[in-house]
Amino acid sequence: MKVEYTGRQTVVTQKYRDQTQEGLKRIEKIVSQSATAHVVLAIDKYRKIAEVTVTDGSQSIVATSESAQMMTSLREAMVKIEQQAIRQKQKSTTSMRHPRPVEKALAVDSSDAAEATA
């Protein structure tokens, strides 16, 4: 997975990069290997903000977290991104495995209409 780092009002240290790589390893198992990630670390007065964007083809997942410590906000953003990726994966597999049958839905509607007229 290709990862880009941006530091706003801060320097992205190796400690932050290691934490990000550790979190992205888990996400990489869920999304495809060709996905890209953009990590933005920002400091605004006393707040440390981490924003993580994972893009896989036309689909992008974004998570933002804010905390007093940068490591905490980065960890929380990784957890949010992982939950979103799992949710998206389950959504796509469910729709592929259980397509909505058109013929059965039409048959049920016509039988309901027949019962209503009788």
User: Is 50 in contact with 65 (CB distance < 8 Å)?
Assistant: yes
- Domains present along the chain, CATH in parentheses: 2-117 (3.30.160.100)
**DSSP annotation of 10:** S
Low-confidence ranges of the chain (pLDDT < 70): 97-118
Burial code (b: 16+ CB inside 10 Å, e: under 16) for 74-103 equals bbbbbebbbebbeeeeeeeeeeeeeeeeee
C-alpha–C-alpha distance, residues 66 and 48, integer Å: 6
Decide: helix, strand or coil at residue 43: strand
Instruction: Specify the pLDDT at position 99.
Output: 65
Instruction: Specify the pLDDT at position 74.
Output: 94
C-alpha–C-alpha distance, residues 1 and 30, integer Å: 12
Instruction: Specify the pLDDT at position 83.
Output: 94
Tokens 């689909």 belong to 59
How close are the terminal C-alpha atoms of the chain, in Å?
62
Instruction: Specify the pLDDT at position 93.
Output: 79
Q: How many helices (H) does the chain have, and how many strands (E)?
A: 3, 4
